[in-house]
């Protein structure tokens, strides 16, 4: 994690405006989840209440075969997406509906009870109004500071779709 992101987040947390957030962007495999995990841990060490979800990869023999979802408040984890059915098709993966429900609950609980809430990630489904979209809208309208993880190519559409007025961009190469 870059040393400048944590101080910028802390300042932004104090002066946040409605429909504003932090967007961590990068391509697939750039390290968005790793940076978010480090940032969440640093915030927790400062006694800042952190919520939402991270979705680390499941890698076998060097290939991504799925993702796990982790609720940052409760610590609950479960498989989120994999290569086999059933599930909601997104690219080559199938998203487990129960894991999606867990993710939405974690984001909504974070919107009510946390100071900073992570969403890993906002992508194709959300841009179609599905997946985590309703939870993201709830989060953006809450007093919590959203930290959205977004692929580079989706950032402009995410900003427009979710009516994000202001954000701090943090790009990972």
**What is the phi/psi pair of residue 139, to 5°?**
-60, -45
In this structure, the number of other CB atoms found within 10 A of the CB of residue 71 comes to 20
Higher pLDDT, 168 or 20: 168
How confident is residue 131, by pLDDT bands cut at 50, 70 and 90? very high
Q: From residue 21, how far is each of 40, 63, 93 by CA, in Å?
A: 15, 32, 28
d(CA 54, CA 42): 15
Provide the token pair at 29.
């495999």
Q: Give 15-73 pLDDT, tens digit per residue.
A: 776 668 999 999 988 999 999 999 999 999 999 999 999 999 999 999 999 999 999 99
d(CA 73, CA 94): 25
What pLDDT is recorded for position 7? 84
Q: Given the structure tokens 């894991």, which residue do they identify?
A: 99
For residues 132-152, average pLDDT: 97
Residue 6 · residue 22 · CB < 8 Å:
no
Residue 82 reports pLDDT greater than 80: yes
Higher pLDDT, 107 or 18: 107
Residue 162 · residue 139 · CB < 8 Å:
no
Secondary structure (DSSP) of 125-151: HHHTT-TTHHHHHHHHTSSSEEEEEEE
- 19 — alpha (psi -120 to 50), left (phi > 0) or beta? left
Q: 18-56+69-75+95-171 — its CATH code? A: 3.40.50.300
d(CA 63, CA 166): 36
Using a pLDDT cut of 70, give the percent of the chain over it.
97
Residue 52 · residue 147 · CB < 8 Å:
yes
Model pTM?
A: 0.95
DSSP 8-class letter at 152: G
């Amino acid at each position: 994690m870059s040393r400048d992101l944590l101080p910028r987040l802390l300042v932004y947390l104090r002066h946040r405006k409605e429909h504003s957030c932090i967007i961590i962007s990068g391509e697939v495999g750039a390290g968005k989840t790793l940076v978010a995990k480090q940032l969440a841990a640093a915030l927790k060490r400062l006694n800042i209440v952190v919520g939402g979800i991270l979705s680390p990869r499941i890698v076998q023999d060097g290939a991504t075969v799925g993702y796990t979802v982790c609720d940052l408040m409760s610590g609950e984890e479960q498989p989120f997406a994999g290569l086999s059915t059933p599930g909601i098709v997104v690219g080559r993966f199938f998203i487990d509906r129960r894991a999606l429900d867990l993710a939405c609950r974690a984001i909504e609980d974070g919107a009510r009870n946390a100071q900073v809430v992570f969403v890993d990630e906002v992508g194709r489904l959300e841009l179609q109004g599905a997946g985590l979209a309703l939870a993201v809208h709830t989060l953006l309208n809450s007093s919590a500071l959203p930290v959205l993880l977004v692929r580079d190519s989706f950032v402009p559409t995410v900003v427009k779709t979710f009516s994000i007025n202001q954000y701090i961009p943090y790009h990972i190469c």
